[in-house]
Amino acid sequence: MSPWESPEIARRMEWLVRSHRLWTGRDLLPGTDTTSLAERVWCAPQVVVAHGTEADPVLWYGNRIALGLWQMDWAEFTATPSRFTAEAPEREERARLMAAVTAQGFIDDYAGVRISRNGRRFRIHRATVWNVVDPEGAPAGQAATFSSWDWLS
């Protein structure tokens, strides 16, 4: 089964997309399409990732571009604490970013260095990071999207 075929992922994609619109006033994906929302996010032309609300948040979503960028399969990616997407020296900056997103709802134009499972470093540009909330408005994690990055190593 593909990730977008999971009822849980489909439900969370609705939260993720609705939350993006709530905080930014913009649609995550352009236009309308008859394809399922979860499949559209999976096939989106930009990276889309999300983590939960655990004390040490674990990634619960990465679309096909994200999995390729971080050089992981679905099972490995969705078992990874999100802090491990950044190298140790970058984790403090990443923690400050997440705290700011929690306080403000979202941040546009974030840039930072991340690292793949195989140690390949890349700088992301113009990322939007936002709080994901469920239909009742309760925190359900944070998500990010970006379409620009440069390989550093």
Tens digit of each residue's pLDDT (9 = 90 or more) over 61-88: 999 999 999 999 999 999 999 999 987 7
Better-scored residue on pLDDT, 35 or 18: 18
Q: How many structural domains are present in the chain?
A: 1
Q: Answer for the pair 71, 117: CB distance below 8 angstroms, yes or no.
A: yes
* Residue 133 belongs to domain spanning: 3-151
CATH number at residue 18: 3.30.450.20
pTM for this prediction: 0.92
Tokens in use for 38? 């979860």
Better-scored residue on pLDDT, 101 or 26: 26
Give tens-digit pLDDT for 80-121.
999 999 877 677 777 787 788 888 899 998 888 999 999 999
Q: Answer for the pair 60, 12: CB distance below 8 angstroms, yes or no.
A: yes
